[in-house]
Amino acid sequence: MDVVKTVAEMKARSRALASEGSVVGLVPTMGALHEGHLSLIRIASGLADVVVVSVFVNPTQFGPSEDFGRYPRDLEQDAALAEGAGCDVLFAPSVEEMYPSRFATVVHVQRMSQKLCGAFRPGHFDGVTTVVAKLFTIVRPAIAVFGQKDGQQVAIIERMSEDLDLGVEIIRGPTVREADGLAKSSRNAYLSREERSQAPVLYRALEHARALYEGGERNALKVVEAVEECVESDSDAELQFVAAVDSKTLEDLATLRPGAMIALAAFFGKTRLIDNVVLE
């Protein structure tokens, strides 16, 4: 596995791979790789000739009071894990490489970026779409794999990639969970022992929603309220939102149907966790 640290070198690699006719698969990450990321790398490895994993803690998707400074970073460990999962090229640019001094461009997806998490993290998805647009033009992948755990993010990136004719097929990798149901997340490391013991309530609540739906309940409001009650009665978590939306368009749903996503965000102490289920 090669490690590439400059945009110029990555572009040169992409050009060479394109001229060979190689199918390139990209897995964008912020590092701190866990089993969730590794599952995405394995998916890319099964679909592409060459797998590029980017590791870039993107400052523009963090709010001023968020955890950019303390976000976990360990490139050596990430490189070993990525290679083990099938990564061929690790692209790990510096902030200065990605955002030179006069950088001024923002890629914004209207409406979809401003609801759910976007309503509470202003500018977050602009940071995501801008850096992903850059990664797509630098790496020129045929496919890119994102986790369904960040369900709003992947829907927004699908929209952006299609709108800007980037020609990248977006693959959604299923959420990988701990044995007790907690979605794998680099931010789980922030949880205290007590918070960690309570955090699986999010998945239990979402599974309860799924069970209600499978039992015939179609009223989105009732299901959302059941999720809220489950989290609030079973934990000290502070819910930020629970919502029922279309998993592709993110439009609010009054009536549940296949493709509906029940998504939530909640704080355990200072740690913000998100999760979702998509109904079938």
Q: Considering 37, 108, 124, 208, which one is annotated as catalytic?
A: 37
**Between 75 and 166, whose beta carbon lies closer to a copy of itself?**
166
Q: Which is nearer to a copy of itself, 158 or 275 (CB)?
A: 158
Least distance CB 94 / a copy of itself (angstroms) = 15
Environment class of residue 205 by beta-carbon count within 10 Å: exposed (0-12), middle (13-18) or buried (19+)? buried
Which of residues 23 and 106 has its CB atom nearest to a copy of itself in the complex?
106
Q: Rule CB under 8 A: which residues touch a copy of itself?
A: 7, 11, 18, 102-112, 129, 133-134, 137-138, 159-160, 163-167, 249
**Residue 49 · residue 18 · CB < 8 Å:** no
Least CB distance from residue 191 to a copy of itself, whole Å? 35
Q: Which helix (H) or strand (E) holds 82?
A: helix 75-85
| Cβ at position 164, least distance to a copy of itself in Å | 6
Bridge-based pairing of strands 89-91 and 50-55 is parallel
Decide whether 159 or 272 has the Cβ nearer to a copy of itself: 159
- Give the residue from 61, 67, 196 showing the smallest Cα distance to 135: 61
**Smallest distance, a copy of itself to C-beta of residue 238, A:** 31
C-alpha 64/C-alpha 116 separation (Å) is: 19
Token readout for 195 is: 């918070």
**Residue 201 identity:** V
Q: Which is nearer to a copy of itself, 212 or 245 (CB)?
A: 245
Question: In the β-sheet with 24-29, what is the strand arrangement from edge to edge?
Answer: 2-4, 89-91, 50-55, 24-29, 143-147, 169-173
d(CA 8, CA 96): 13
Annotation marks residue 37 as catalytic: yes
Which residue, among 221, 206, 204, has the nearest Cα to 256 in the 3D structure?
Answer: 221
In the complex, the smallest distance separating the C-beta of residue 174 from a copy of itself, rounded to whole angstroms, is: 25
Residues acting as catalytic residues: 37
